Amino acid sequence: MTNSDRRPGVASDAGPGDVLSPQSPIEIIERWDEWVVEEYRGGHRDGETYATYDRRIDAIRGAKARMDDENHPCLLKWDADDIVGNIYWNPLFERLELRYDPLVEAWAVVPAAGHYLFVTASTLETALEEARAVQRRFDFKRLDVYTRDGSRRKRIDHRFVRQSLAKSGVRFEKRTPPDGRSTDPVVDGVDADDDAPTEDGSTTPSSVPASALFASVSDLTEVTVESTSGPIHRYRATWTDGEPATIAALSPEYSDHSAAVDAFTEGVEDWERIGDSAHVTTVFDTGIGPSPWVAYRTGDLDFTAYGDELSVRTQRRVCREIAIGLEVARGNGVPGIGVEPGNVCVVSEDGTKRLMLSGWGLRWKVTRALHADHVTPYTAPEQLDGKLTATTDVYQLGAFAYRLLTGTAPFSDATALKTAIREKSPAPPSRHRRVPAAVDDVLARAMATDPADRYDGVDDLYGALLGVFQ
């Protein structure tokens, strides 16, 4: 066997495509009032146009489907004429490996995903040259070079990842830690390229999605994990302009679950439709990789602590601002759900504080798509059956007002929360805190188990509360 002994492999169904005709990357650009999905040709914007869309989220979804179905290596989303904001990589082209194969006594170039042998060579020097040629030809994101004993020796990134200026036809905002030691993303002290090992050699589940998210969303810095339980994971970060942000992402476990993905993306689309309202949290950006996600503005204060210190007058104002957000949603055909303290953002502006709603029922919608339960003290009875009514928002505002006025969540003494929500009313508010007895009647009507027995709208509920406290 000579140094140039090369053996092209045979692709399986999971292989990276026909070795004789590699596909080009795909790009999404905004042109006038539409989003264009086209072939990437070095940033010259003259590739074949595949499709056009009226909405960015539809363009992203259509482009990703084409990328996966036709084995394009990656998808570039342009944020400006010379800046790419996000790159979504086809999993088949995430990583190429150069390993020594003792069975054939040669160095082999293979993709980490699928079963495909590109080439073998008898020397590492020749194998590395061939591997780099394969990486360039097929646009693999990374090439990992291993020693004979299986330890990773070297990592070579695709030009899209390692270059910040237009030699590759794209420009990125590179994030470098303050000490300047590395240009690789760092999340909670974990290299974004590697899983975080624990003492027993396993990986830390919560750090892996955060690292992948950080690597995929170019506008994020200082990502920390808030919650990775349930179907929606949450992270805190700093957005590109220094504003605090929260990122809600569909759990990677469900990234291939079409119903869950559709529920998440449709919920985000609803949210974006009302995002210009003063009392709806601003959506910074959305994406589909590594799983569907939405980044939105985070409040300056934790509402639970903030709300417990408010005067009755300010509590009334809080209810009014939440009611305005719900009215905006209703006027735009968006379900007014997800009203609970964890989804209320407190934003300080010019010495005043403003309340904004986030979430908009994302978790409920996704769990429903998964045929699972998501029950909180603020869940309306009809939601337990997967339904929404014209007065579901009235119930949720009533439950939120109950927590605000009493300092205690509804049904806090219930041993079976679902049964209590379906069959009972919460304890009268006046038992928890000194509030006018008339509040008991107002909130009992707002939280009636029969939707027809509630106030007709959130404005009517707010008017009733205002009448009690005047």
**What is the tens place of the pLDDT at every residue in 75-95?**
888 877 666 767 888 888 989
Question: Model confidence at 9, in pLDDT bands (50, 70, 90)?
Answer: very low
Q: Please give the span between the terminal C-alpha atoms of the chain, in angstroms, as a whole number.
A: 93
Q: What is the pLDDT of residue 309?
A: 72
- Strands (E) located in 394-438: none
Q: What is the pLDDT of residue 170?
A: 53
**Per-residue pLDDT tens digits for 330-349:** 988 898 898 998 888 888 77
User: 378 to each of 165, 402, 410, 416, how far by Cα in Å?
Assistant: 50, 10, 7, 14
Question: The tokens of 421 are what?
Answer: 């929500």
Question: The tokens of 260 are what?
Answer: 């869950």
Return d(Cα 106, Cα 384) in angstroms, integer: 60
Domain boundaries, the chain: 1-162, 216-372, 375-470
Return d(Cα 367, Cα 264) in angstroms, integer: 10
Structure letter (DSSP) for residue 222 = E
Percent of the chain with pLDDT over 90: 27
Percent of the chain with pLDDT over 70: 79
Question: Model confidence at 42, in pLDDT bands (50, 70, 90)?
Answer: low
Of residues 323, 316, 310, 271, the one with CA closest to residue 292: 271
Return d(Cα 158, Cα 155) in angstroms, integer: 10
Q: Give the H/E segment covering residue 247.
A: strand 244-250
Q: Give the H/E segment covering residue 297.
A: strand 293-297
Q: What is the pLDDT of residue 420?
A: 93
Give yes or no on whether 216-372 and 375-470 have one common fold: yes
Of residues 353, 237, 216, the one with CA closest to residue 286: 216
- Per-residue pLDDT averaged across 221-240, rounded? 83
> Tokens 């994020």 belong to which residue?
220
Q: What is the pLDDT of residue 96?
A: 92
SS3 288: coil
Q: What is the pLDDT of residue 186?
A: 31
Of residues 140, 130, 133, the one with CA closest to residue 25: 140
CB-based burial label for 24 (10 Å; 0-12, 13-18, 19+): middle
Give alpha helix (H) positions in 154-257. Answer: 159-162, 207-216
Instruction: Give yes or no for a contact between 231 and 370, defined as CB atoms under 8 angstroms apart.
Output: yes
Give helix 312-331 / helix 458-469 axis angle, nearest 10°.
170
Of residues 291, 297, 140, 155, the one with CA closest to residue 213: 291
Q: What is the pLDDT of residue 117?
A: 87
- Per-residue pLDDT averaged across 415-442, rounded? 88
Q: Give the H/E segment covering residue 249.
A: strand 244-250
Return d(Cα 117, Cα 130) in angstroms, integer: 12
**Is the pLDDT score of 396 beyond 90?**
yes
Q: Which of 5-9, 54-58, 229-233, 414-418 has the lowest mean pLDDT?
A: 5-9
User: 228 to each of 62, 206, 225, 247, how far by Cα in Å?
Assistant: 28, 6, 7, 12
Backbone angles phi, psi at 294, to 5 degrees: -140, 135
- Per-residue pLDDT averaged across 166-181, rounded? 41
> Tokens 């995903």 belong to which residue?
113
- Per-residue pLDDT averaged across 21-50, rounded? 82
Phi/psi-derived region of residue 268, left when phi > 0, alpha when psi is between -120 and 50, beta in every other case: alpha
CB-based burial label for 163 (10 Å; 0-12, 13-18, 19+): middle
> Tokens 């005047």 belong to which residue?
470
Which architecture, in CATH terms, is 216-372? Orthogonal Bundle (1.10)
Compute CA 336 distance to the chain's CA centroid, rounded to the nearest angstrom: 21
- Per-residue pLDDT averaged across 369-396, rounded? 93
Compute CA 81 distance to the chain's CA centroid, rounded to the nearest angstrom: 25
Q: Which residue has the higher pLDDT, 57 or 146?
A: 146
CATH classification (class only), 375-470: mainly alpha
User: 208 to each of 143, 153, 245, how far by Cα in Å?
Assistant: 20, 22, 19
- Mean pLDDT over each residue of the chain, to the nearest integer: 79
